[in-house]
Structure 1
């Protein structure tokens, strides 16, 4: 190790020590996450100011920060599948009726798809207001390589159809889907868990003793899994700090300035759609300011980690412990929201790209003959988009290929892709939480006492799972 690297890591260690002391002092979870986010920005900016970008010192420091940041994300991904399975099975055992399950699924998916179309319309509007166009943009070597990569993956995107997508939700091998082998593995695990729950309720009357034993087993498994969730979530401030420091330290100000218009337009669209989410929950009877305060830690994690799927455990914990949403609804919203109707990655991003690229082939992007098919394609293409890094790229490939637009031009945005993806992912998670919150309220299942309380997610009590 070089001396600069040792000094950088020493500073990072002191920050982690400070965050740990805050945890020991029982500083609220939200404040610890906010502290981790702010300290990560400061460290990343300091590294870039001292060493410049790119530099071997920053690369070496980021490699070590990645152990903490990406390691935390991997731990969250580790518990996603067990959490989905035991939570959904237990929820169905409590529901006991297929009608209630159908209402939850219909409302949740419906809200996710409708908000994605709204997000796409906002993306089109922002692209128009900022007069964004791919005409005349020059490409660096990295952007050319990215364009070639997108072109090479075009065939896979063109093979996607609604029947094949729906078929991919059916788990031919549920154990394979538990490994996350497919883009639709999360939904497939949800479907498998639903079958387990329905099968169990089917024997409740005929074999009550067997049903009681199974219910007890699921309850025990649920308590253990939620304890795992608690242990991992305690690491959130540390993970957010490391992820944020790495992103800021590795960002190049020059490349951001070159595409500043697209960055600003993207974040204006994301902010506007986030306001739509707040209007939704406000119309459902929630105080938007209180709601925003309660979901902030989840959004901060999603922003820094760029993984909607990894945010599922924290999303479920927040919905149940802070918003008063029943566990069944929370799990359906978080699970479906990580794969269906992602407002940022599958709504705003493909819409803005399509409007930018259309003029390069002589198409008026504001004509009804272009916009109406575009919104329809985006709604369809948002089904089954993976909630991990690269999901937005795949959604863009589906939309651009369906609209007969040159996909290689999307590679021109590679320089600012990570920066924008942070905001997109936060919006994705916000959309799934809003869908669960509104669905729960419509069904009359929200515990408003929980929402109006000032209680934090309890991660420090040994008796409390979440």
Structure 2
């Protein structure tokens, strides 16, 4: 029966490949993999039982795809963070601009991300989300082989000590990702590199131009790898959801439904907060809703912040009275910095949900403060490509010393919430642009 089950899976994989060759959209293939995975997992559990040798034998082979997919996601985190943050800083034309408008825009984006992370954590706590009892994956999809050591370190060290550890003493060791603060260390390194190149522009423009080409070329390579990983997402989702459904009880499965509800609750709350922030700078929220609705609708349906960029800039300039420079800077930064949905709400919810599985109480103030801080800084490295929320979650969870296996599992329900998250990301960029315009005009 194991061979028969594997043959069926291979045929489904082949059909997914056929759909891709025929140009079927990524979202539809993800949805197909999700539905088929649920059906197969339910059949396995109903026909054989959770502890059946047939199920275990089948899943042991299927884990090669699911676990391999998670490991590839983890593989790309560090280089993605490095090139995304550095290239984002290089979009700034000079240091003077960076010190004024650029810093203000980045500050607002990070400020709203702090709020989004707080809202996400509160929503997860309010819905009593917990990963306890849910299969979190095998040891190979845990963030490192020493999670117990990381947990002890997290509990024993003060917040001040953990902040100091963000500054690495060895660049190459930071790139290995062996320490719980290494991801933030890479963020720190990327910021240093970006600012240094901006300063070099002022007295050695030829050198700065060469360095920028190196960074952009590296980004092209990383984005190609990201694209390759995302292309196998349907196969990874199918494998992960089959294992989840086949080995979980009904109460665990219902936790995914609660996660979707909690996600949209947080997203709606953040939209309301955006409107309140606009009201604080005396910008009519109703006017914003009217002018932003077409852009947000496109973002919702397309699920791409980067693809919405031209519409975002156009609406800011022609409909909302934002100057060209601020509109372009805020919209461009908003693609990879402070994404409220993908890099704020989502990682914070996952962290709160997963923390109890390693004995951390998510209701404690030190945990929540560190989570909000880590989420805000981690949002600096999230590129505006498909799967950005997954990478944001990996960054935050690995930095917090939490297991990352559940990230792959929850990818299965991402199509249900990614539309709302993307619209929230775009709204954040637009609100930031309007607020920056208002504040700089007053000055």
Shorter-chain TM-score bucket reads 0.5 to 0.7
User: Is the counterpart of residue 216 in structure 1 residue 213 in structure 2?
Assistant: yes
Q: 1:376 to 1:89 in 2, by over 3 A?
A: closer
* Map 1:380-419 → 2, pairs under 5 A: 380-384=370-374, 387-388=393-394, 391=397
Trace 1:381-460 onto structure 2 (pairs within 5 A): 381-384=371-374, 387-388=393-394, 391=397, 422=410, 436-444=425-433
Offset of 1:241 from its aligned partner? 1.3
- How far apart, CA to CA, are the structure 1 residues paired with 2:339 and 2:180? 16
Give yes or no for contact 1:187–1:336 (8 Å, CA) kept in 2. no
Q: CA distance change for structure 1 residues 212 and 65 in 2, over 3 Å: closer, same or farther?
A: same
User: What's the counterpart of residue 378 of structure 1?
Assistant: 368
Work out whether residues 122 and 348 of structure 1, in 8 Å CA contact, stay in contact via their aligned partners in 2. Answer: no
CA drift of 1:164 comes to 1.8
What aligned pairs does 1:328-367 form with structure 2 within 5 A after superposition? 328-333=333-338, 342-346=347-351
Q: What's the CA shift for 1:194?
A: 1.1
Separation in structure 1 between the aligned mates of residue 180 and residue 85 of structure 2, nearest angstrom: 20
Alpha-carbon distance in 2 for matches of 1:172, 1:336 = 33
CA–CA distance in structure 2, aligned partners of residues 350 and 198 of structure 1: 35
Partner Cα distance (1:187, 1:430) in 2:
28
- Counterpart contact for 2:201–2:208, Cα < 8 Å: yes
Deviations 1:56-114 (A, max 9, x none): 21112112111112212222322222222223222222213333553344233322322
What does residue 115 of structure 1 align with?
Answer: 116
Aligned residue in 2 for 1:456: none
Q: Is the 8 A contact 1:345 1:425 kept in 2?
A: no
Describe the shift of the 1:395–1:106 C-alpha distance in structure 2 as closer, same or farther (beyond 3 A). Answer: farther
User: What is the aligned partner in structure 2 of residue 319 from structure 1?
Assistant: 305
Deviation, 1:22, is: 0.5
Structure 1 residues 9, 278: CA separation in 2 closer, same or farther (over 3 Å shift)? Answer: farther
Q: Residues 421 and 25 of structure 1: is their aligned pair in 2 closer, same or farther, counting only changes over 3 Å? A: closer
- Evaluate the alpha carbon distance shift between residue 219 and residue 339 of structure 1 in structure 2; reply closer, same or farther with a 3 A threshold: same
- Please give the secondary structure, in 2, of the residue aligned with 1:203: helix
Q: CA RMSD in A?
A: 4.6
- 1:235 CA displacement: 1.3
Q: Deviations over 1:180-210 (max 9, x none)?
A: 2222322221210111111111111211221
Contact 2:124 2:352 (8 Å CA) reproduced: yes
Structure 1, unaligned runs of 5 or more = 133-148, 296-317, 359-370, 397-416, 446-466
Question: What TM-score results when the alignment is normalised by the length of structure 1?
Answer: 0.63
Contact 1:204–1:211 (CA<8 Å) still a contact in 2?
yes
Residue 103 (structure 2) pairs with residue 102 (structure 1): yes
Greater Cα offset, 21-30 or 234-243: 234-243
Map of 1:404 onto structure 2 = none
- Residue 34 of structure 1 deviates from its aligned partner by 1.1
Contact 2:300–2:419 (CA under 8 A) maintained in structure 1: no
Q: 1:41 aligns with which of 38, 41, 48?
A: 38
Summarize the alignment of residues 253-268 of structure 1 with structure 2, pairs less than 5 Å apart.
253=250, 256=252, 268=261
3-state SS of paired residue (1:342): helix
What are the residue-to-residue correspondences of 1:7-156 with 2, within 5 Å?
A: 7-95=4-92, 96-97=94-95, 98-99=98-99, 100-123=101-124, 125-126=126-127, 155-156=152-153
TM-score by length of 2: 0.66
Q: Does 1:164 align with 2:161?
A: yes
Q: 2:159, 2:370 within 8 Å by CA — same for their partners in 1? A: yes
Q: Quote how far apart the aligned CAs of 1:7 are.
A: 0.7
Change (3 A) 1:384 1:332: same
Query: Could you tell me which residue of structure 2 aligns to residue 272 of structure 1?
Result: 265
1:254-296: CA deviation from partner (whole Å, max 9, x where unpaired): x649xx7x8876665444224334556787634555444333x
Question: Within 2, Cα distance between the matches of 1:340 and 1:186?
Answer: 19
> Which runs of 5 or more structure 2 residues have no equivalent in the other structure?
131-145, 276-284, 313-330, 376-391, 435-443
Structure 1 residues 389, 198: closer, same or farther in 2, change over 3 A?
Answer: closer
